[in-house]
């Protein structure tokens, strides 16, 4: 089996991408060919493919409708995307039109392809890099899409940013980040957005949050502008928080911190111990309290290095971090989550191969029961979801290339998760995260 690995930056920082949706029909016998011709001289039907909205936000659902097909016609719906790295991604589903000659993505079943069942967004979340060759099924297409002429094509755009959202580069002394502001005069509730150990500046979650009414600042904290790991300590995050808080378009008493993976670990550490970072609520995705981040990032990585022997590699040469994180936690101090004073939402996948998120959530719960602040804690655990729980409708990757900053080596990292369950987790978690933020930041509740 050939496995293809692509970097996790499927959508990197670009704020727009396009997909082609095509209806394809395979003609693989003479009788089919004749019947097709007969149909066209009697009545010129042109299948109509409509996708609404044709320009939507990345976290918005779309509705695909096909009309004017002959009844009970086998068709394949196909999506194609070329990433910024020039790789091609595709997904497809096999459908049969009803007696009116229609296919409706929201209510009809896909009988096979890269997704199955009634999955209105399957054409996006089940995308994968275009493989070499595959065996096809008769009547429906499974390969060779580029050689077939589609019955109809529609191009859609999925945007990471709503109209009017402003992007502001943050470069204040050593602090590096990007602030996204909703349109209008504000002021708005603010969110400090922290990603994981993959590094660089990943803007799309903040741009989406700004599209939903939050002034969201994503912070680059892993050697931005050559800042040394030794110099990245708690004060770096406190300064960043203050930059956000003091912005004239941000409500200084309506703030949240949202972190994923290492960002989640940092979130919990800061919120529990910092005198400066006191948000109204925080969200920790696929992170935990297992490693207290108190000195600097270099010290943090040193702890990891000491336990590097606990790194497992499976039969596909994919690196699994789970056990390393477990063993580090036993040797260092955990974050004293009993000291957290604001509502906290944990979002975890139970197939997380990088961080033992479910186990740590249980441990956190126990600590908070003892400390008397259990009522602040809310835990969402998603079955068969992996580590990378991101905004919805992006493809799932069970493993990808990963650059380890502390070893300076490229490995293949196993994140975990099964595609359909992971897609569901992303969709549901995002809704709940937004609702949680709206609730605790007193922002107007939008239907979503």
Residues in the site for other proteins, rule: CB under 8 A? 18, 20, 22, 41, 43-44, 46, 52-57, 149-150, 152-157, 159, 162-164, 166-173, 183-187, 242-243, 246-249, 251, 442-446
Q: Confirm if 110 and 117 have CB atoms less than 8 A apart.
A: yes
Q: Closest separation between CB of residue 65 and other proteins, Å?
A: 15
Closer residue to other proteins, CB minimum distance, 397 or 430: 430
DSSP label at residue 143:
S
Q: Closest separation between CB of residue 185 and other proteins, Å?
A: 5
Q: Measuring CA to CA, which residue among 401, 292, 390, 269 is closest to residue 340?
A: 269
Q: Are strands 88-96 and 63-67 parallel, antiparallel or unpaired?
A: unpaired
Closer residue to other proteins, CB minimum distance, 170 or 399: 170
Q: Closest separation between CB of residue 237 and other proteins, Å?
A: 15
Closer residue to other proteins, CB minimum distance, 211 or 260: 211
On the question of a cis peptide bond just before residue 308, with omega within 30 degrees of 0, the verdict is no
Q: Helix or strand or coil: residue 357?
A: helix
Q: Closest separation between CB of residue 330 and other proteins, Å?
A: 41
**CA 92, 94, 98, 101 torsion: positive or negative?**
positive
Closer residue to other proteins, CB minimum distance, 157 or 230: 157
Closer residue to other proteins, CB minimum distance, 154 or 418: 154
Sheet with 409-414, side-by-side order of all strands: 312-313, 318-320, 409-414, 399-404
Please report the DSSP string for 302-365 in residue order.
HHHHHTGGG-EE-TT-EEE-HHHHHHHHHHSPPP-GGG--S-EEEEEETT-SSS-HHHHHHHHH
Cα 32–chain centre separation: 42
Closer residue to other proteins, CB minimum distance, 220 or 359: 220
Closer residue to other proteins, CB minimum distance, 308 or 446: 446
Separation CA 351–CA 416 (nearest Å): 5
Q: Closest separation between CB of residue 214 and other proteins, Å?
A: 13
Closer residue to other proteins, CB minimum distance, 25 or 334: 25
In the structure encoding, which two tokens stand for residue 361, read together? Answer: 């959530």
Q: Measuring CA to CA, which residue among 403, 389, 332, 400 is closest to residue 357?
A: 389
**Burial track 426-448 (b if 16+ CB lie within 10 A, e otherwise):** bbbbbeebbebbbebbebeeeee
Closer residue to other proteins, CB minimum distance, 138 or 147: 147
Q: Closest separation between CB of residue 155 and other proteins, Å?
A: 3
Closer residue to other proteins, CB minimum distance, 38 or 169: 169
Q: Closest separation between CB of residue 59 and other proteins, Å?
A: 13
Q: Closest separation between CB of residue 19 and other proteins, Å?
A: 9
Q: Closest separation between CB of residue 74 and other proteins, Å?
A: 21
Q: Helix or strand or coil: residue 7?
A: strand
Q: Closest separation between CB of residue 15 and other proteins, Å?
A: 12
Q: Confirm if 140 and 26 have CB atoms less than 8 A apart.
A: yes
Closer residue to other proteins, CB minimum distance, 132 or 248: 248
- Percent of the chain that is helix, strand, coil (3-state, to 5): 30, 30, 45
Q: Closest separation between CB of residue 55 and other proteins, Å?
A: 4
Separation CA 316–CA 171 (nearest Å): 41
Q: What are phi and psi of 49, to 5 degrees?
A: -110, 120
Cα 120–chain centre separation: 18
In the structure encoding, which two tokens stand for residue 294, read together? Answer: 């108190």
The residue behind tokens 């493919």 is 49
Closer residue to other proteins, CB minimum distance, 9 or 249: 249
Q: Confirm if 127 and 395 have CB atoms less than 8 A apart.
A: yes
Q: Are strands 409-414 and 312-313 parallel, antiparallel or unpaired?
A: unpaired
Q: Closest separation between CB of residue 184 and other proteins, Å?
A: 3
DSSP label at residue 13:
T
In the structure encoding, which two tokens stand for residue 236, read together? Answer: 């770096």
């Amino acid at each position: 089996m050939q496995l293809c690995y692509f970097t996790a930056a499927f959508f990197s920082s670009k704020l727009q991408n396009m997909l082609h949706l095509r209806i394809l029909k395979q003609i693989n016998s003479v009788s089919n060919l004749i019947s097709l011709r007969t149909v066209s001289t009697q009545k010129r039907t042109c299948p109509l493919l409509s996708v609404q909205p044709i320009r939507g936000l990345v976290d918005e659902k779309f509705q695909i409708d096909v009309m004017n097909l002959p009844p009970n016609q086998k068709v394949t719906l196909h999506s194609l995307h070329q990433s910024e790295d020039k790789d091609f991604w595709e997904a497809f589903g096999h459908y049969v039109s009803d007696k009116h000659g229609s296919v409706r993505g929201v209510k009809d079943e896909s009988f096979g392809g890269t997704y199955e069942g009634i999955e209105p967004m399957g054409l996006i979340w089940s995308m994968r890099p275009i493989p070499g060759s595959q065996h096809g099924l008769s009547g429906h297409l499974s390969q060779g899409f580029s050689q077939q002429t589609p019955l109809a094509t529609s191009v859609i755009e999925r945007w990471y940013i709503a109209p009017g959202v402003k992007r502001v580069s943050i470069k204040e002394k050593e602090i590096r980040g990007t602030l996204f502001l909703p349109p209008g005069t504000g002021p708005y509730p603010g969110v400090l957005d922290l990603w994981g150990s993959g590094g660089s500046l990943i803007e799309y979650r903040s741009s989406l949050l700004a599209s939903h009414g939050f002034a969201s600042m994503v912070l680059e904290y892993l050697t931005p502008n050559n800042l040394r790991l030794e110099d990245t300590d708690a004060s770096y995050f406190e300064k960043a928080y203050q930059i956000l808080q003091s912005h004239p378009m941000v409500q200084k008493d309506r703030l949240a911190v949202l972190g994923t993976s290492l960002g989640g670990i940092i979130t919990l550490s800061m919120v529990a111990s910092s005198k400066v970072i006191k948000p109204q609520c925080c969200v920790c995705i696929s992170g935990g309290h297992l490693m207290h981040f108190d000195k600097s990032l270099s010290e943090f990585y040193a702890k990891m290095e000491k336990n590097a022997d606990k790194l497992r590699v499976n039969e596909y040469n994919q690196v699994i971090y789970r056990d390393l994180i477990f063993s580090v936690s036993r040797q260092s101090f955990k974050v004293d989550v009993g000291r957290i004073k604001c509502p906290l939402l944990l979002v975890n996948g139970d197939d997380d191969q990088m961080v033992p998120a479910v186990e740590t959530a249980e441990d956190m719960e126990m600590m908070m029961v003892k400390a008397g602040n259990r009522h602040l804690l809310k835990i969402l655990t998603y079955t068969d979801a992996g580590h990378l729980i991101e905004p919805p409708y992006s493809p799932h990757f069970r493993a990808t290339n990963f650059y380890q900053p502390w070893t300076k080596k490229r490995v293949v990292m196993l994140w975990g998760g099964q595609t359909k369950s992971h897609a569901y987790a992303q969709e549901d978690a995002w809704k709940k995260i937004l609702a949680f933020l709206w609730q605790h930041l007193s922002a107007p509740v939008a239907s979503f």
